[in-house]
Amino acid sequence: MPRIDAHGHLIPEAYRAELAKRGVEPDYPLPPATPEIFGEVMDRHGIDAAVVSLSPPGVWFDDIGLARDLSRLVNEETAALVREQPARFAGLITVPLPDVEGALAEIAHGFDELGLDGVALSTNHAGTYLGDPEFDPVFDELERRGAYVFVHPIQPTTPSPMPATPVWVQEFPFDTTRAVTNLIYSGTLERCPSIRMQLAHLGGAAPFLAHRIAEWAGRDPSRAEAAPAGALEYLRRLYYDTGLSNNRVALAAVRELAGLDHIVFGTDWPYAVLPEGGDPAPDLGLSPTERATVDATNVAALVPRLSDALAG
């Protein structure tokens, strides 16, 4: 049975070069992450295909022009990779949010000109969270297209109360929880039912806190109006990848909430610490049939092109 990584990152060398040329220093070091290196990792772990997106910190460095240029550069690089190896890679569109006009232009270019497979969004863009009315035009366009949308956490703009703790330990999963809660209670998920949305890292803390999130509507009628199906139902409609969450404890909460058919395999390469070789996620505790469902079958709902190519 094929294995498809629904959560892999690339950091194009041209992107690094452009950051250096503009004198931009990311907040944290970016590991080597070229298609060639990733391809070796995939071969070592029996991964037949991968969905790739740009790694955090993304393209926004308080400069609209730079964000637009970097988005276009990354999307062209991603599209070239997909054209070269269409059965091995699916590519997601990078957008220059919070620049809504630029994001809409890049969505059109990425889908209509480059033929990319979906869109990658960060949980917040310069402190504005997904679900904010400012981003309604973007979500309306993604709804019109019935798009596949991958949501990945990024560092919040507010300083951590525990600055000695790496952001990926707490802030990243908490930021996913903030974003999905806002998507529910802003009415965005009610308004945009055709978007096929995947949350990184098994949804951060959202599955564990699902009933607490749902309780908000019980205490505030205005929230219930915006999310008439109820928070649990919206959470059940989403897809969750196992990147950096390849363990039975995290999987159990998502399986109870959304069912096995809404879980997809992911690595979060190059940030994942994978075994030397063989199974990249040996601790999921699934039967062979269940594992095949997570490893490849479920991804067909998000990127049918990849599943068809591997099946053929």
Q: 72-124, pLDDT tens digit by residue?
A: 999 999 999 999 999 999 999 999 999 999 999 999 999 999 999 999 999 99
- Average pLDDT of every residue of the chain: 95
Taken as a whole, the chain contains a residue count of 312
CA 167 to CA 162: how far, in whole Å? 9
**Where exactly are the structural domains of the chain?**
4-311
pTM listed for this prediction: 0.96
CA 238 to CA 293: how far, in whole Å? 16
CA 13 to CA 73: how far, in whole Å? 11
pLDDT given for residue 89 in this prediction: 97
CA 56 to CA 60: how far, in whole Å? 10
**Least confident interval from 37-41, 161-165, 242-246:** 161-165
pLDDT given for residue 312 in this prediction: 58
pLDDT given for residue 309 in this prediction: 67
Enter the CATH code of domain 4-311: 3.20.20.140
